[in-house]
Amino acid sequence: MPRLSDPITRSICISLPPIPDPPSTGFSAAPIIARRVQRRIVEGYRKLLSRLLSRQGGEVSLDDIDYDVVEGCWLIRFQAADSDMVLAVHTAAMAETLDMPNLCGFDAEDRSRDWLRRIEITLNVLLSHQPNTAAPVSEFPPDPHWFGCQN
């Protein structure tokens, strides 16, 4: 369930598929690449959320992105005049599930982009029912090398 993980620091939590441990037989780049893909997914989500919230007219600044090892999720720190609005929009966005068992599979880039598009559609519908909304504008698809899983 999306939540403000810490109301004092104002963070939202994004859970992505877990990254498997590397094999005990030697070094594997897969966990490193998967972590990079996760970060790029979260950066794309942060940009989308920031753009949609700022179009809404609210004062919001989405800041740092960090991985919380204890919680096993990505945290986006933010400052906002209306924290409840940020949480409500984030909760609606996280209703779209990311179906991606392998973060560096051949289709990871497409699945990630599709997930961000579905979130954008969901949020545009949600925000269109709020006052002071502007026409939705899409910035996707991003650069094809955006996710870093090119073979």
Tell me the pLDDT tens digit for each residue of 91-124: 888 888 776 656 666 677 788 888 889 889 888 8
Q: Is residue 94 part of a domain?
A: yes
- Amino acid 115: pLDDT: 86
**Within 13 Å of residue 4, how many CA atoms lie on the same side as its CB?**
16
Q: Is residue 100 part of a domain?
A: yes
Residues 16-73: pLDDT tens digits? 877 777 777 777 777 888 888 888 889 988 888 888 888 877 677 878 899 888 888 8
Could you tell me the residue range of the domain that residue 92 belongs to? 11-19+28-128
| 69: Cα separation from own chain's centroid | 17
Q: In angstroms, what is the C-alpha Rg of the chain?
A: 16
> Where does 1-151 have alpha helices with state H?
30-55, 83-93, 108-128
C-alpha span between 105 and 61 (Å, rounded): 33
- Amino acid 111: pLDDT: 81
Q: Is residue 84 part of a domain?
A: yes
Q: Is residue 3 part of a domain?
A: no
Strand 11-14 and strand 60-68: the pairing is: unpaired
Least confident of 8-12, 16-20, 61-65, 143-147: 143-147
Residue 96, SS3 per DSSP: coil
Provide the number of structural domains found in the chain.
1
Q: Is residue 106 part of a domain?
A: yes
Q: Is residue 69 part of a domain?
A: yes
C-alpha span between 108 and 110 (Å, rounded): 6
Q: Is residue 1 part of a domain?
A: no
- Amino acid 6: pLDDT: 46
150 Cβ contact partners less than 8 Å away, ≥ 6 residues apart? none
Q: Is residue 149 part of a domain?
A: no
- Amino acid 106: pLDDT: 66
Is residue 65 within 8 Å of residue 39, measured between CB atoms?
A: yes
- Amino acid 108: pLDDT: 75
Start-to-end CA distance of the chain, whole Å, equals 34
